[in-house]
Amino acid sequence: MPDTELISLSDIARLANVQRPVVSVWRSRSKSSPAPFPEPATRNGTQEFFDATEVVAWLETTGRGNNAHIAEDMTAHTLGARADFIPVSALLTLYAMSGERLSDLDYEDLLDLADETDPEDAFIYSEIEALDQASLSLVKYTERLIDAAFGVVPAFEQLMADRFRLNNPELAECALSDSALQIAATAALEISSKSLCFTENTPGGSDLLITVAKLLGESTLGTFLVPEKSTADTVISRLALRRLRTHCAAQENIALIRPDGSQRGVVHLAQYPGPDDPQMSFATILDSIEELVLQLQQDERAIILAPASLLINQLDSSELEGARSAILRSGRVRAAVRLPRGLVVSKPQQALGFWVVGPEPTSVPLGERGVLIADLLDQTIDDSVMGDLATDLAASLGGLESIRRHAFRFAQLMKTSTILASKSGLIPEAKTTFQLLAGSYSNSAEALVRTEAALDEANRTAERRPELEIPLQARAAEYNAGPQTVLRTVAELQQAGAIRHLPGTRILEGDLAPENSTGVKVWQAEDLAEGTATRTIPALALAAKYPRAKLTEPGDIVFHGGPHPVARVDAEGAAAVRFPAQILRVDQQSVHGIVPLLLAADISRGAIGHWKRWGVRTVPSDQVSALTAALLKVYSEKQAAEERLKRLEEFSNRLVGGITNGELEMMKTNTSTEGRP
């Protein structure tokens, strides 16, 4: 350590056990007093550092602060003490595991105790051995830290909380916010088996398991699997193991054991990159994820956190795209979520991706396998969101029937084959392109929407006959003769002034009139699926109680978000809209080609994420009718194919039941002249 021990204003506050602003007040108010606050000894940029000895003398002279052991604690709060982060953590673990009062031991006894506690030198022996006689003052500081924090576990967590203040960039760079940790831990508990067995695959990580331990409380029994000797025996990995051992020694309901292959239903938690390798490349991350996925037993699960730009978004590199696609083809990625930005503390603009990995759904045909996707990019994370997301993710591990029965709040199922073919990421990008046809516009929007719906319904009824399935856009493209059109997001159209958003009104249930009563029509979220508003509110009550309520105009789109968005065009207008239903108003003079009926149909056909991110078609006026004609042609082909199939089935049934040779020849002739399906 330097001859002059330096201390910052924040460290002075910690030493004196006061809030940081208090020190600034002391400094300013004492300037003209007989005992002014010491002047800075040096500066590093704008940060000032003070001679620790002068500060302690000033605190003792003036009686400031709430620490009766200021002189004894000084060394632990100086810049030099920041290098003691590692040995203090080792002493805390030794204290937790041995139960001994370490200040009663001399250096040799302390070393013997460390050897007895960690005979394989997996987590503390080397750190204790590195102490010398001069450093033994840290032992007393460690015990005071435990007393001040009311326990060894809170003391260790206080030490870990200093990762952003201390010179530990590896720990700080990958640190997740409490919300991110809570999301992962809550989901891990939700998908775990009765054994409640967890392990962390994050290189050098411990945050995820510690959060699981906190959620388990002090009564629920849990098991953590951590090797006694880390395969990457680094400073960070040893610190992670010390932290886990400290928690498990103090928390009797958690066992920390070495995996021996007998554990069942293990939940693996992993964050990439981790503290051991904060600069891990995307290629290395995907290799690590693939290795983890391939090693999972059929009864094991995994929670994986990594940048959304890698796990969720479209990838620019064909090599990365190929590596991610290979993992998806395994069928074990059961859910994928894009989380909000700001969950990585040091990277507030980075969005996190979240995968749930489970057993391969062998009972589901390859073509029917899918991934539950959810976009929470614009969500505010609270207890309700975390709880509902966890149940959605747990449902993703079931079969198709259980998925269909579950009422998802955030997620919806997307076929894996569709994701791989789209080349636009696991969650579709807001901007995609598709083909529309040239022609003339003649009020064909409604025909187009109804044709699309009829074609979708025909495809759903033909699921048992894959050869009859006619993908909408693929077949429409066969008739292509026109330019490409960009799918715009609602946010882009709103920014361009083509769409206005009007919030719904929080109308109380008691203010609504009974059904079929006179008054102002009220759109509710539950009305949108049916397409008819069934409730009203007296006009006087609306004016008196809700003077700021927005009424619809003819052509407004009334919509409701959530996992299954739905929207309707209000052709009449003059209706109130009850929150959570909301309004999108199209500028009729806009040159952006917005057709309200198409916009509502695009929302109802599977919009994903926050409403501002919904992608909707903008249709040049000369293209709608021609596309309608093309889709009608496709639909007629579908009907013809189904009719031929029906005739063949009748032929087969009658053949089994017994028919005359004459009937048989007649049916064969009829079928052959119409062509085979």
CA dihedral 418, 475, 473, 450 (to 10 degrees): -120
Helix (H) or strand (E) holding 131: none
pLDDT recorded at residue 455: 52
Gap between the Cα atoms of 21 and 9, Å rounded: 9
pLDDT recorded at residue 635: 52
Gap between the Cα atoms of 670 and 498, Å rounded: 55
pLDDT at 325 over 50: yes
Residues 531-541: what's their mean pLDDT? Answer: 83
pLDDT recorded at residue 472: 42
| Residue burial 136-148, b: 16+ Cβ < 10 Å; e: rest | bbbbbbbbbbbee
Q: Where are the beta strands (DSSP E) in 436-547?
A: 484-486, 488-489, 499-502, 520-523, 535-537
Q: Between these two residues, 134 and 534, which has the higher pLDDT value?
A: 534
Residues 72-101: what's their mean pLDDT? Answer: 77
The DSSP output letter for 363 is T
Report in angstroms the alpha-carbon separations of 382 from 178, 184, 186, 210, 411.
11, 13, 12, 20, 17
pLDDT recorded at residue 632: 54
Report in angstroms the alpha-carbon separations of 124 from 96, 118, 130, 222, 227.
12, 7, 10, 24, 15
Residues 46-75: what's their mean pLDDT? Answer: 84
Contact 619, 436 (CB under 8 A): yes
330 closest CA partner among 355, 356, 366: 366
Number of H helices, E strands in the chain: 27, 23
Residues 307-329: what's their mean pLDDT? Answer: 89
pLDDT at 654 over 60: no
596 closest CA partner among 631, 561, 568, 632: 568
Share of the chain above pLDDT 90, in %: 9
- The string of pLDDT tens digits covering residues 156-172 is 887 787 665 555 666 77
pLDDT recorded at residue 55: 92
Q: How sure is the predictor about 451, in pLDDT bands with cuts at 50, 70 and 90? A: low
293 closest CA partner among 258, 329, 320: 329
Q: Between these two residues, 477 and 497, which has the higher pLDDT value?
A: 497
- The string of pLDDT tens digits covering residues 266-276 is 999 999 998 88
Q: How sure is the predictor about 81, in pLDDT bands with cuts at 50, 70 and 90? A: low
Relative orientation angle of helices 137-149 and 152-161, to the nearest 10 degrees = 100
Most confident of 84-93, 141-150, 646-655: 84-93
Gap between the Cα atoms of 300 and 266, Å rounded: 5
Q: How sure is the predictor about 286, in pLDDT bands with cuts at 50, 70 and 90? A: very high
Helical segments of 83-177, H only? 85-98, 107-117, 125-129, 137-149, 152-161, 169-173
pLDDT recorded at residue 355: 92
pLDDT at 667 over 60: no
pLDDT at 676 over 70: no
pLDDT recorded at residue 135: 66
pLDDT at 91 over 80: yes
Residues 330-359: what's their mean pLDDT? Answer: 87
DSSP string, 312-334: TSPPS-HHHHHHHHHHHHTT-EE
Q: How sure is the predictor about 653, in pLDDT bands with cuts at 50, 70 and 90? A: low
Contact 250, 288 (CB under 8 A): no
Query: To the nearest whole number, what is the mean pLDDT of the chain?
Result: 76
pLDDT recorded at residue 362: 77
pLDDT recorded at residue 57: 92
Q: How sure is the predictor about 37, in pLDDT bands with cuts at 50, 70 and 90? A: very high
- 423, amino acid identity: K
Gap between the Cα atoms of 106 and 446, Å rounded: 87
Contact 642, 470 (CB under 8 A): no
pLDDT recorded at residue 619: 61
pLDDT at 5 over 80: no
Q: 470 exposed, middle or buried (CB, 10 Å; 0-12, 13-18, 19+)?
A: middle
pLDDT at 130 over 90: no
Q: How sure is the predictor about 307, in pLDDT bands with cuts at 50, 70 and 90? A: very high
Of the listed ranges 132-146, 219-233, 283-297, the least confidently predicted one is 219-233
pLDDT recorded at residue 83: 55
pLDDT recorded at residue 434: 28
Residues 304-318: what's their mean pLDDT? Answer: 89
pLDDT recorded at residue 476: 41
Residues 636-661: what's their mean pLDDT? Answer: 55
pLDDT recorded at residue 304: 94
Q: How sure is the predictor about 674, in pLDDT bands with cuts at 50, 70 and 90? A: very low
